[in-house]
Structures are given as C-alpha cells and as structure tokens.
Chain A
C-alpha cells in the first residue's frame, strides 16, 4: 500500500513538473476548461432569465446541481478519468504490453500516470458557482453536509465505474475515439433535477446506472431533500464501481497485444 502511495506521489510530481515546463499551455487549457465550465450553467441562467424554469426549483438550486456535477467531473478528470483515454490509446498503438510488464497493478498505474492538474481550472469554476449557489439557499445543517459528502463520494464511484467500463470496451472496440461520447451522453441525465424525467428513466438513473448520485443527490442533500431512497442508492453505486473494476481487469486478462 505504501509502495503504491509512493508511486502515486511520484506521478503527481511528474505531472506538476510537466505543467511547470509547458506553463502557457497549462494555463491556457485551465482557462479554456474554466470558460467551458462557466458556459454550461449560463444556459440555466439564460433559461431562467427568460422567465421559464423547472417547477419547484429556483435558479440557484439548479446551479447547485450543475456545480456539484462540474466539481465531480473535475476531480474525476484530475485523478482517474485519464485511464479511459490512456487505455484506448495504448490498446490501439500496441503500447499496452509495456504497461502489462510493469510490476504494479495495470489499472492503478494507468490512473496514476494520467493524473492531471489541468482539471483544476474546471474545479475552480465549479467551486465558484457552488459557493454562489450555496450562499443563495438556506444554510445546510451539519447532518446535511455529511449526507452531501457521502453522496458526493458515491457519485465519484459511479463516474469511475462508467470510465472503467468505457476503458474496458476499448479493448474490443479498438481505436474508436468516440467511446467517451457515450460516457458523456449517459452522464448528461445527471445535470438536471431528476423530477423532469419520467419514472422509467428515474429507475435507470437511480439504480441501473446511478447517474443521479453524481450531482442530483448531493445537491438534494444540501437542500434538505435527502431521503432514504438516496441512501439505498449508495449500494448500486458501489456495485457499479466493483463491476467496472471487474470488467476492466477481465479485459486486461483477455488482452492479446499487438494493437489495432
């Protein structure tokens, strides 16, 4: 465990050194991610500005959901999401063999190696909108903050699970650079109040692929709308992550090399 922590620390140092070397590129990418991030909630502001809105949801409540979504995405981008791109690339160009012969767990080393500080711009944008939103809703209690934390971590499990499943798919669907689009479109259900979707979709987003846990549930907890169903949803999140890990490791075992 300590050895793995040391490896992870080294990978963070390497990424920091890279970002320091290509400073301009790093800052540009951070700014672009920050701007892109600001635009997404801007749509919500424009919609509410036109006098429309989601029934039972104020603009700040919707912004809260979207800012939590952004922060989750940023953390995922910085810490583990890179495995999807790395696996896709390595499988396609045949470089996966070089990773497989390393005396560490393949999944771990790919996540560590793809650690990226660039998501920090995204996180900063999300955190700024989160702060604005939180200042415009009734102050959450300590218990609500604890619920938020539990749901937020469970949401990260879901993102990691989806990322690992997509990465696993790239072992068979070699070189398809559009796999992440599937990931993005599935996640898009999680950016809005779940009350806008019909029951059939809610079952899907709550229990099958618990996308609602990425942003809706943590935000609902802060708004005092947390309930027992949300606590029950933690279990599918854990199962989903375990399934992602299992599938990825299984595909690594099946991998025969040579690229595609």
Chain B
C-alpha cells in the first residue's frame, strides 16, 4: 500500500513537473493561443447571424430553439479550447525522425508524458483562449453560457479531454506501421470535425447515422460534453438522462484507453528505433 501510494505520488509529481514546464515553454508562444481571441468570436458571429436568419419565423429546428443553438456553438467552441490536442502530430514526428527511441529509454511512459504535456498546454488554453472568449461570448454577444449542471459538465469535459487525447495518440501510433501517416491524420480530422458535431449538431444527420454514431468515438469528443453543458442530451431520437450519457462516455473512454494500450504494446514489438 505504502509503495503504491509512493508510486502514485511520484507519478503526480512527474505530471505536475512536465505540465508546468510545458506551460512555461508554450507561454513564450502565448500569442499562438491568443489568435483564438480573434478567430473564435469571428466564427461565432458568423454562426450567430446564420442561425438567427435560419430561425426567422420558426421557434425550433430539429428540436432545438435559437437560444439552445447559440449556446451549442458557444459551448462547442469553448470546450474545443479545453480539449484540443496534437499528440498525433507529435508522436508521428518522433517516430518518423527516430527520436522516439529517446523516449523508449526513459523511465516514463511516453503516453503519460504526452498527457502531462497536454495538461500544461491546455491550461495555457484555459487562460488565453477559454476565459477571454467566454467573456466575449457572454458579455458582448449575451450568449447564455451557464452550464445546466456544472458538476456533470466538468466531468464530461474531463472525459472528452481524455477521449480526444487517447484517440489522437492512437492515430499517432499508426506511424509505427506507415512511413507517412499524415494522410490518415487528415482523414480523421475531417471525420471528427463532421461527426463530433463541431460544424452542426448531430441531430441534423439522418437517423441511421445518428444511431451508428453511438458506437463511434466522435460524439464523445465534443457533442456529448456540449449537450451535457446545455442540460439536454438527444441523439437518434433518444433522450438520455445526463448522468447516464456521462456514464456511457466514461465507458467509451475506458474502451479507448484499453485499445490504446493494446496498440501501444503491439507498436513496441514493431518499433526498430531507426525512424523513416
């Protein structure tokens, strides 16, 4: 018990140290993050006017009213800042250049290292993207951006954070098999943009596709936390209670973590340390 507690404490210390260093490192490039202060509100303005025009003379479209739609896009943008990830790009670069070897020799699992870095990086996102954009959306556009259930929302966003990370890490591991895996990344980015509900709520898709999406990782990356934020979850005509959908999201995250571990072990058997 004493040993496992010590090991856990050590892991937490490593996590904190890597996250703090990443935060400091990326703080030098904080203007990268601050681009979102312009980009986020501009996209939001576009969505705001488009949906306002679409709702002219209508009270609801696909079961959502205008306020819900504005909240949906505002929350989707904000949650995106907290969950954004590029572990796939990093890992693929390390594998291709052969630099992954240095990580394979370190007394720290690379995936844990990458997760710690993401924590530091997204903390920066919280300060320079999430908070300023939240203020702009709420004060300037009067967008109703108070989560319906704050506890469930925080939990769902945390699960989405993990889901996005593990999915991207799995994508990164494809580089152990393919010399140039950037095409796979691009295909995935396209699919996740479509099926995670970033561009349009998933309730706009045909029923059969909405049903299929329950079994894919995409909705758990953005649509689920956003709908938990709004306080109503509906997909494929099924209305699910918030605690239940967060439970399903947690289950999907566990499945993804297990798959990531299996793939990591297979990757290590294949890794030759030379690069490509």
A196 near B204 with CB under 8 A, answer: no
A32 near B186 with CB under 8 A, answer: yes
* Bound complex: CA A49 to CA B207 (Å): 13
B49 near A51 with CB under 8 A, answer: no
B190 near A52 with CB under 8 A, answer: no
Is A14 in the interface zone, CB < 8 Å from B?
no
Tell me which of A35, A178, A201 contacts B35 (CB under 8 A).
A178
Is A18 in the interface zone, CB < 8 Å from B?
no
Count of B residues near A, CB < 8 Å?
A: 32
Note all chain A residues with C-beta closer than 8 A to B193: 39
Q: Which of B186-223 contact A (CB under 8 A)?
A: 186-187, 190, 193-194, 199-200, 204-205
Is B1 in the interface zone, CB < 8 Å from A?
no
A35 near B190 with CB under 8 A, answer: yes
A24 closest partner in B (C-beta): B183
Note all chain A residues with C-beta closer than 8 A to B50: 192, 196
A177 near B42 with CB under 8 A, answer: no
A54 near B54 with CB under 8 A, answer: yes
Helix, strand, loop or mixed for chain B's interface? helix
* Bound complex: CA A25 to CA B46 (Å): 34
Contact count band on A: 35 or more
Note all chain B residues with C-beta closer than 8 A to A186: 42
Note all chain A residues with C-beta closer than 8 A to B205: 46
Is B24 in the interface zone, CB < 8 Å from A?
no
Tell me which of B53, B61, B190 contacts A32 (CB under 8 A).
B190
Chain B nearest Cβ from A251, distance in angstroms: 18
Chain B nearest Cβ from A61, distance in angstroms: 14
| Pairs across A and B, CB under 8 Å, 13 listed | A25-B180, A32-B186, A39-B190, A39-B193, A46-B204, A47-B200, A51-B61, A55-B56, A177-B32, A182-B38, A192-B46, A192-B50, A201-B49
